[in-house]
Amino acid sequence: MGKSGETYLVGKYEGRTAFRSKPLVVGSGKFSIGHEISRDYIDEALSGKSGQDIYPGGFGKLVLAAYAPLNLKGLNWACISRIDLEEAMVPAGDGRNDFFGNYIRKYDYYDLFLITPDGHIFYTVDHESDYDTNILNGKYADTNLGELMKKVLQTRQFGIADFKPYAPSKDAPASFIAMPLTDGKEIQLIVALQLSVDSINSIMQRREGMGKSGETYLVGPDYLMRSDSFLDRDNHSVKASFANPANGSVRTEAVTEAVSGKTAEKVIKDYKGNPVLSAYTSVKMGETTWAVIAEIDEDEVMSPIYNVLFSIVIAALIIGVVVAFLGFSIAKGIAKPLMDGVEFARHVASGDLSADIDVSQKDEVGMLAKALREMILKLREIVSSVKTATDNVTAGSGQLSSTAQELSQGTGEQSSSAEEVSASMEEMSSNIRQNADNAMETEKIAVRAADIAGKSGQSVSETVIAMKKITEKISIIEEIAQQTGLLALNAAIEAARAGEHGKGFAVVSSEIRKLSERSRIAAAEISELSVTSVAVAEKAGEMLSLLVPDIRKTADLVQEIAAASKEQNSGTDQINRAIQQLDQVIQENAAAAEEMSSTAQELSSQAELLQHTMKFFKVGGYGVKVSEHSEKHILPLAHSENRTEIRHENNRLGILQHEKIIAKDVPDTYPAIADHHEDEGFERY
């Protein structure tokens, strides 16, 4: 049960609650059986309830109490076990020697606090004035620890409080961290730790690589120190900084930028006004940003560099003297051969390829002299060959110009003839096109006439049928006229019989008989005309029937004539286009011949210029044999019967000879020339 723990019995009788066993701790052993006592947990137990909880004990301390009623017949008793909360929560030990005391010493904290959810500090390692007080509503509620407790209770999460003067620690700046302990639902306990400035200093004041003037320190957002300065502990320690902010604050460029979250390194003025190389960044402490500053005097940083530069300068002077001496010695051995080489190069630059260099050394200068001698030999051979090729080019360009002029004249005459033929073909094409148009028009007329003739034949047939019907009707009229005549005769006989009374009727019948006779005669004439008309119409129909096939055949023939005219027109158009294209090709050939003539003239002038340029080189007796050999193959134009053959022969032999010279003498320098022949080889050269 420890020092403060014990178990005792209580009972209630006639409204009085008193001890039923003698307590040893409660009342320090002064209470005896029957002494009245009143506690909340005792009342709970006597009411028949069981449980355990934290309750206020005597002298303001908290106790952990467990209680249960006793089932004794006729008695209202309960069993109570209680122990001071501090002793129950803290493992065995005394003050700074208990578990938590050993913990803060091991991990270098200043103090540790156990706090109930209602703010009661029931345990601290050092038992300063905040011990056994309420941090939420007591006299230290306005401290940074009180603010931290309110925040942790509200957020139910880990929290940190920045440095501020803390009265229980003699107003020394203090920073706290706190963590709530829960049972999953409610906060049961809050553990708080007071940070130690010494532990922060042990990290920030490590001296490895800091030299004499280097230091690292922390600064808060209020520009006051969060770790002690190594170089100025009097004014820029954490305690001195908070005690006298005017002298202890640090408002340098590095601190300002670091507090704003920037990271950099640069040369600035430190809090003493000295130029320092400063590296800075920020570190987040909960909701607070601290500046981490590392600085060293610029002079101390640059001192090794200055020493190295001085050593380099001394070494450079020594090396310079040695190099100058060696250079003078070496120069004496190579200066004269080099001067000879310079003089040789000047002769070559002036065009004198007969120059020579007399250096017989075995070193690199001798190798250079040997290479120069080989070079001049090759140059002599090449220049001689170029002179020979230039003569051939000059002769060939003149012949090419003459041939181009003749070709240009011939193409001009061809162009004129082609234009005349084109004009004639154009006129013939126009006539054929006109014939084709007329044939097409005649075809249309013939087709139309055939249609009309066919329709006329049909009309004649219909007319014949109508006339036959008229003849039939006229025969009926003749019969009517005969019948009318008979009737009139009968009427006249009856009128004669009537005598005087029938005279008028006799006159009428006489007129009717005359009219009937006239009708019969007219009907007979009409019938005769109808028969004649029918014969004529039938004959016309037969003639039209014979005429329609001929008209249709004529239309077919006209169609064939029109188709043939179209084909002739298309053929003449194609011939005309071909002649025009031929004319265009002839004109292009003429233009090309003109251009070739001008190019040949330009080539001739360039060849003369090249001859003049080659006179710059003096080769002495070198290359004469090659030139004479080449000249043997240039045939004179005046004694040739076929100028084209002579020109081609001159070009072929001269160029071929030149290619053989180049391929034989400079196979390494111009390998491509040796692989080509005649004109292609000459052009590539």
Check whether 8 has a pLDDT greater than 80: yes
Structural domain includes residue 349: no
For 280, phi and psi rounded to 5 degrees? -145, 155
Pair (529, 473) in one structural domain: yes
- pLDDT greater at residue 643 or residue 458: 458
User: Which residues, listed in sequence order, are joined to residue 279 by a DSSP beta bridge?
Assistant: 265, 294
Backbone φ/ψ region at 74: left (φ over 0), alpha (ψ -120 to 50), beta: left
Residue 57 banded pLDDT, cuts 50, 70, 90: low
> What does the mean pLDDT of the chain come to?
79
Pair (84, 108) in one structural domain: no
Query: Of 167, 196, 225, which residue sits at a domain end?
Result: 196
Which pLDDT score, from 0 to 100, does residue 157 have?
92
Segment holding 122, helix H or strand E: strand 121-124
For tokens 């001195």, what's the residue? 240
CA distance 310 to 316: 10
CA distance 111 to 216: 25
What SS3 class is residue 206?
A: coil
Domain that holds residue 47: 6-88
Task: Provide the CATH number for the domain around residue 50.
Answer: 3.30.450
CA distance 480 to 520: 8
Segment holding 190, helix H or strand E: strand 187-195
Contact, 471 vs 534, CB < 8 A?
Answer: yes
Quote the tokens at residue 323. 């190099």
CA distance 145 to 151: 10
CA distance 130 to 128: 5
- pLDDT greater at residue 474 or residue 100: 100
Q: Exposure pattern of 541-551 as b/e (b: 16+ CB <10 Å)?
A: beebeebbeeb
Structural domain includes residue 408: yes
Pair (153, 75) in one structural domain: no
Segment holding 11, helix H or strand E: strand 6-13
Q: 64: burial class by Cβ within 10 Å (0-12, 13-18, 19+)?
A: buried
Structural domain includes residue 162: yes
What is the separation, in whole angstroms, between the first and last Cα of the chain? 119
What SS3 class is residue 112?
A: strand
Pair (133, 43) in one structural domain: no
Pair (180, 58) in one structural domain: no
264-269 and 16-19: which strand pairing? Answer: unpaired
Residue 258 banded pLDDT, cuts 50, 70, 90: very high
Q: Which residues, 6+ apart, have CB-to-CB distance to 257 below 8 Å?
A: 264, 280
Structural domain includes residue 236: no
Among the residue ranges 224-228, 259-263, 650-654, the one predicted with the least confidence is 650-654
Sequence letter at residue 37: I
Contact, 144 vs 172, CB < 8 A?
Answer: no
Pair (33, 143) in one structural domain: no
Contact, 135 vs 141, CB < 8 A?
Answer: yes
What SS3 class is residue 147?
A: helix
Segment holding 181, helix H or strand E: strand 172-182
CA distance 207 to 469: 150
Quote the tokens at residue 62. 């908290």
Q: Exposure pattern of 235-262 as b/e (b: 16+ CB <10 Å)?
A: bbbbbbbbbeeeebbbebebbebbbeee
Which pLDDT score, from 0 to 100, does residue 625 have?
39
CA distance 128 to 271: 35
CA distance 498 to 521: 31
Structural domain includes residue 623: no
DSSP H stretches of helix in 137-296: 144-155, 197-204, 233-236, 238-243, 245-248, 253-259
Which pLDDT score, from 0 to 100, does residue 133 have?
92
Which pLDDT score, from 0 to 100, does residue 216 have?
94
Angle made by CA atoms 628, 633, 638, in degrees to the nearest 5: 115
pTM: 0.44
Check whether 22 has a pLDDT greater than 50: yes
Q: What is the DSSP track for 565-610?
A: HHHHHHHHHHHHHHHHHHHHHHHHHHHHHHHHHHHHHHHHHHHHHH
For tokens 């999460």, what's the residue? 157
What SS3 class is residue 640?
A: coil
Residue-wise pLDDT tens digits, 578-590: 887 887 888 788 7
Check whether 140 has a pLDDT greater than 90: yes
Task: Provide the CATH number for the domain around residue 183.
Answer: 3.30.450.20
User: In this prediction, what percent of the chain has a pLDDT beyond 70?
Assistant: 87
Pair (536, 400) in one structural domain: yes
Structural domain includes residue 289: no
Return the closest-CA partner of residue 215 out of 174, 273, 163, 270: 270
Pair (185, 39) in one structural domain: no
Which pLDDT score, from 0 to 100, does residue 260 have?
92
Which pLDDT score, from 0 to 100, does residue 332 have?
64
Quote the tokens at residue 420. 């005349």
Quote the tokens at residue 579. 């002649």
User: Which residues, listed in sequence order, are joined to residue 269 by a DSSP beta bridge?
Assistant: 275
Pair (10, 100) in one structural domain: no
Structural domain includes residue 515: yes
264-269 and 275-285: which strand pairing? Answer: antiparallel
Which pLDDT score, from 0 to 100, does residue 632 have?
40
Pair (505, 408) in one structural domain: yes
CA distance 547 to 281: 122
Query: Of 88, 117, 132, which residue sits at a domain end?
Result: 88
Pair (501, 401) in one structural domain: yes
Pair (449, 471) in one structural domain: yes
Residue-wise pLDDT tens digits, 615-669: 777 766 554 433 343 444 433 333 334 444 434 444 444 444 444 443 444 444 4
What is the chain's alpha carbon radius of gyration, rounded to the nearest angstrom? 72
Task: Provide the CATH number for the domain around residue 545.
Answer: 1.10.287.950
Query: Of 616, 646, 663, which residue sits at a domain end?
Result: 616
Check whether 362 has a pLDDT greater than 50: yes
Among the residue ranges 15-29, 266-280, 626-640, the one predicted with the least confidence is 626-640
What's the total number of domains in the chain?
Answer: 3
Q: How far is CA 296 from CA 259, 496, 646, in A?
A: 20, 182, 96
Check whether 309 has a pLDDT greater than 80: yes
Structural domain includes residue 119: yes
